[in-house]
Amino acid sequence: MEKTFILHMLTTAKNLSPFDVNMAMDAGWVAAIPYTNVEPSEVKGLIQDVIFSRSPKGLKNTGIFIGGRDTKQARDMLKNAKNAMFSPFEVSVFADPSGAFTTAAGMVACVEKELETKFNTTLEGKNLLALGGTGPVGQAAAVLASQAGANVRIIGRQLDKTLRIAELCNDEFGEGKIAIEAGVDADKAEYIKTTDIVFATGAAGIELLSAEHIASASQLKVAADINAVPPSGIVGLDAFDNGKELQGSTSGAVGLGALAIGNIKYQTQSRLLKEMIESEQPIFIHFEHAFEVARQIINLSK
């Protein structure tokens, strides 16, 4: 008798995300088991309870999903989970805290598509501002864009926090191979004059890029926003906009709304959850793997 497909879903938060549960079940997992308020130190014990309760054959129908809200914590938990296993007692693990990794992957892949189709260029050498970039999506998107060759600056309200996040992105996620810079909102008007790309990744309902900013952005090409709650993070941008020219842009810049990005994020998360079921070998997924899949989806939709 074939073992039931069980996805053990770990989160450091009080509640597991209903979004992630729905995604898991719709992707083909038969049972999604929540573990809330999980301490990173508890991961090893939980993982070993999972792997030693089934035969290696049964473990092919078993997976781990890591949620929460902290990107570093999620990556650390993924590493702890991987280190707690050994062949043949291994299962696939997917880290996606607050959906940040798949959202960031979708955003950067969508921006790449617009750069290619509208401006015949890439992220390489472009100046990029990650507004509200100290949060989970901003961090992951900044790293992916930097790895793709962009000159990235994370913008936040407090310089000390923004510097700390930039250092985290460079050292922890970028393994010392990238050089993301930090800046503050007070200097945004100056930075925007030489910016090619904007990621608006702040809290819902906060406008981060004004009409004045857009008008003064003489080399702006693409502006992307993950906020679907009015008002938009980018003035005049509708959540459904998908490559529409930004009103007031002097450079012909185009915008990407939250739901256009969300469509790619949804497909990316769904495909990765299915890959966990279908893979013959354990896979360990975070934002870089999500980006590979998002790029594939974008290429298929061209």
Domains of the chain: 6-99+264-301 (3.40.50.10280), 100-258 (3.40.50.720)
Q: What is the pLDDT of residue 123?
A: 98
What confidence tens digit (pLDDT) does each residue in 169-201 have? 999 999 999 999 999 999 999 999 999 999 999
Average pLDDT over residues 108-132: 98
Mean of the pLDDT values across residues 253-281?
A: 97
203 φ, ψ (degrees, to nearest 5) = -65, 155
pLDDT band at 2 (very low <50, low <70, confident <90, very high): confident
Mean pLDDT in residue range 205-226: 96
Cα 289 from chain centroid (whole Å): 10
> Global pTM?
0.95
Average pLDDT of the residues in 74-82:
96
3-state secondary structure of 53: coil
**Mean of pLDDT values over 67-86:** 95
Residue range 69-91: average pLDDT? 95
Query: Which tokens belong to 253?
Result: 């810049």
Nearest to 279 by CA among 86, 92, 57: 92
Query: Above 70 in pLDDT, residue 300?
Result: no
**What percentage of the chain carries pLDDT values higher than 90?**
93
Q: Is 50 helix (H, G, I), strand (E, B) or coil?
A: helix
List of residues 6+ apart from 35 with CB closer than 8 A: 8, 9, 10, 11, 16, 46
CB 12 within 8 A of CB 68: yes
Return the structure tokens found at 44.
């090893």
pLDDT of residue 299: 84
DSSP conformational letter for 240: T
Q: 216, 190 in Cβ contact below 8 A?
A: no
Q: What is the DSSP string of 144-200?
A: HHHHTT-EEEEEES-HHHHHHHHHHIIIIISTTS---EEEEGGGHHHHGGG-SEEEE
